[in-house]
Structure formats: C-alpha cells, structure tokens
Structure 1
C-alpha cells in the first residue's frame, strides 16, 4: 500500500493501482446509465486498475439472460458482460436482496457472480478506493 496515494503498486512497480467499484442500480434500458457505466468500466480496466462491479436494485436486470430489445429499438448490450473476463474484470457482485425482491437468483444471470447480502456489500464497498454509481 502506498501511503501517499492510498493505492497499491502493481506487480511491475510501474504505477499505482486503485480499487474501483462501479455500482449499477438502474435497469439496462430506458436510460443511458447502464451502457455508460459499462463503457467506463472497460476504460478503467484498460488503465490496469483493480475493477469490480456491483449490481443492486434494478441494476440486477442488466445481467439477466435472454434479453430481447428489438421491440425497444435499442441495441442489446448484455452480451458485453460475457466479455468482461477478457479485460480482467472478474469481480462481479450482486446484492441478494435485490435479486430476491425481483424473483431472480444467480442461475438467471448471464455471467458468474458472487451474491452478497446487503451488509456484506456495504462492507465490501468500504474497502474500495473509489466507488462510482450509475
């Protein structure tokens, strides 16, 4: 841990790595938040930062399998979540209560996630250097 910046040095000593968590609370379509959030996540990963994503409230719908958007006349960007692993974004967290309130479980989601209680999610957020909500 670097006391000056609050980050950690990467393995090669070439820079400071910050822990970024992107919190997704909005449904995938109807606003730009979900798509913009996903784009920012990909950009952050390109800069070799420690990136994780959390899905709460209606944000859990971003990960649901079988999304069909043709009737909405918008592009279905949900397959992009399957590509996150290729960008070393493997820490995906979903709030258990948000899933349950919407009648969903981890089997309904496109990608493997870690399901956390609301309290555990809050504790995890406290360990991050930067938390950004969408």
Structure 2
C-alpha cells in the first residue's frame, strides 16, 4: 500500500531552489502514482501569482510545472488563506484547482490526513 504524501512549499519562487524542488518532488510522486498533495504556505503562496518575471532574478519560472501537476495526477492543491491575505493575493485570482484553507484548524486537519509530510 502506498503511503500518502503532503508537500508543504513555503518559499517564494525567487528566493532560491526550494520552490522548484518542492514541485519536482510532487511531480515525481505523481509520476509514480503516489497519493500526493501540495500546500502553499507563507511565502510559498507567491508561486501562485500570475505574470512572474523569473528571469529578472535569474530563476526559472515555476508556472509551467504548476500547470503540469494535473497531468501527473496531482489534483489536491491547497493554499493557506491567511498567507494569501497577508501577501495581498486575492483568492479570486487563483487557479480554480487551488483550494484556499481558511484557518489553522483546516491546515492541521489536512496535515493529519497524510502519512508523510515534507516541508520545503
């Protein structure tokens, strides 16, 4: 039986390799048909903003990887509502596949559903 996996991505896409590494883990898990979900928390929610110019800070754009997630069977995508609000990101601008979680209790319940949790 496969163990379920939750990846928590906490880094902005321009702050280093963490955001890309989180997406790589999710894509690899999806490719092997593991039950996997992705939660964007803290500065990780900046990955969800459209129109990023990653080249300006000499980073690779993560938008294509985000759009590829459903092709790899990764359909459980979440974002911390508090993190979105603190960073001025409106939930209406998010892709419809991203489910905003309203409270810390919602996040705790999500984490409790998974066998393994990796925070990057």
Identify if the C-alpha distance between structure 1 residues 111 and 79 changes in structure 2 by more than 3 Å, giving closer, same or farther: farther
Q: Which residue of 1 aligns with 2:91?
A: 106
Question: Structure 1: which 4+ aligned runs deviate by more than 6 Å?
Answer: none
TM-score by length of 2: 0.92
Q: CA deviation at 1:111?
A: 5.4
Q: Which one of 88, 108, 115 corresponds to residue 129 of structure 1?
A: 115
Q: Deviations over 1:5-32 (max 9, x none)?
A: xxxxxxxxxxx12110000111111211
Q: Which residue of 1 aligns with 2:62?
A: 77
> Would you say how many aligned residue pairs link Structure 1 and Structure 2?
119
TM-score by length of 1: 0.83
Asked whether 1:89 is paired with 2:83, we answer no
Q: Which residue of 2 aligns with 1:118?
A: 104
Bigger radius of gyration, 1 or 2?
A: 1
Q: CA deviation at 1:109?
A: 2.7
Task: Kindly indicate whether structure 1 or structure 2 has the higher relative contact order, using CA contacts under 8 Å at least 6 residues apart.
Answer: 2
